[in-house]
Amino acid sequence: MPMPTPAAVRSKIRRSYDDRPYPAADESVLTNPGCKIAPLEWIDALSRPGRESVQPRRILVAGCGTGSEAFSLRRRVPSAGIVAVDFSPRSISIALRLAQRAPEMRGIRFVVADLASPRLAATIGRGFDFISCHGVLSYVPEPERALGNLARCLTPDGALYLGVNGSTHPSVGWRQALSGFGIDVENFRDTRRLREILRACDAISFHDSQSRLSTESAAHLAGDLFGACIHNLPLTEWLRVARVAGLSLCGSYSCGHSLGPLCRRSLTRVLMPRSRAEFCELEEMLIPASFHRLLFMRKPPANPPWDDVDALLAWCPIRTRLHHTALPLRGRSWHALRPVRYRSTAPGTRIDLRIPEWEAEILRESDGSRSLRDILGKIPVTIPAPLLREQLYILYLLIVIDLLPPTPVTDR
């Protein structure tokens, strides 16, 4: 049998979402955060470290379904102009109907459009400084085309958030298992037999613990488990797709869980001079994700020169707003170790470290306006260069600080 064309697969997927709009067709979509995009604080810290927290002005929600993602962004960024796009006309008409019921949602522009269409930018416009595309590209036959279109709609320093399935997504094994029971995994049919098989698979997979696919809604199963195309890809593959689209990785919200143990065991120096993005690639090799929450920009983020301390001293540290860091009051001894807690509400992490007073002072002075050399000039002790870069590297990986490159001296 000839392979179906990408256009034929897309039509099949669109029909499936028209039959069962996602996440639901009722009022719950208006209030339920449902869609779990990465926190805006994390996105902000990675994409705009050097600037005051500037709320995005124009937001595109790519593949918005019945509107949950757009409604939750409207609540978080009330001042932004939001355009929300989906190729399922039924999903868009439900989103429009729901938006009419909540006055603050009426300004969202809902549009029927195919993300893979060459006319996308002409239909929705360009100049978006934030694009959110959660749980969509895994179901697009040629994700490069759709992502290329999105990249063209982004401002030069805008950020694009992508939520996509990883290589260990449960659907990999579940689709195989269901096929073994003679179930057609490309076409969802909500039968009593299917639910019984799902209950058996639940019992095998989760024993008595919480996760239950057999009780999921038809919309959820039709979208996440069944369907004509599901890309469950490792990070390297999504990065290849992004490169084709002209996008560079800034960070992965699904990664970083190993940073606490690495810091506590003083092992971060082994990772130098990897950028944050390269660290994510390393972590993915060792513990592949089931779902990736990735942040991209058109310009590759600058990685400080970790191998060259002299060059590093010209960079300007700036504390991000991702962490609440309670810094100790100034102490007397520059080498005394002081307890510091980095607590981030966004990634839900809390890391307790003991840092020397000179490092606490660097943190106090890290507002992006002074180079490390200037800050250290006011600290009257000699700090061994390897120790300095190691401590700064930890702060950089944890996104406690960013480092801004020196501005080039221009000829008059």
Ligand X SMILES: C[S@@+](CC[C@H](N)C(=O)[O-])C[C@H]1O[C@@H](n2cnc3c(N)ncnc32)[C@H](O)[C@@H]1O
Which amino acid appears at position 276 of this protein?
A: R
**Which range, of 87-95, 190-198, 251-259, 310-318, touches ligand X by CB under 6 A?**
87-95
Residue 319 found at the interface with ligand X (CB under 6 A): no
State the residue for tokens 């927290």.
53
> What residues between 184 and 213 interact with ligand X by CB under 6 A?
none
Residue 174 found at the interface with ligand X (CB under 6 A): no
Residue 150 found at the interface with ligand X (CB under 6 A): no
* Contact with ligand X (CB under 6 A) among 68, 254, 268, 320: 68
**Which range, of 16-24, 152-160, 232-240, 292-300, touches ligand X by CB under 6 A?**
16-24
Residue whose C-alpha is closest to residue 386's, from 268, 240, 293, 302: 268
Cβ 28 to ligand X shortest distance, Å: 12
* Contact with ligand X (CB under 6 A) among 20, 22, 124, 130: 22
* Contact with ligand X (CB under 6 A) among 41, 44, 69, 284: 69
Residue 115 found at the interface with ligand X (CB under 6 A): yes
Residue 116 found at the interface with ligand X (CB under 6 A): yes
Residue 219 found at the interface with ligand X (CB under 6 A): no
Torsion of CA 97, 103, 108, 110, to 10 degrees: 10
Our CB check for ligand X shows the closer of 25 and 116 to be 116
Residue 13 found at the interface with ligand X (CB under 6 A): yes
- For 161, the token pair is 């958030």
- For 220, the token pair is 């959820």
* Contact with ligand X (CB under 6 A) among 38, 49, 59, 114: 114
The contact set with ligand X (CB under 6 A) reads 10, 13, 17, 22-23, 34-35, 63-65, 68-69, 86-88, 91, 114-116, 134-136, 139-140, 146, 223
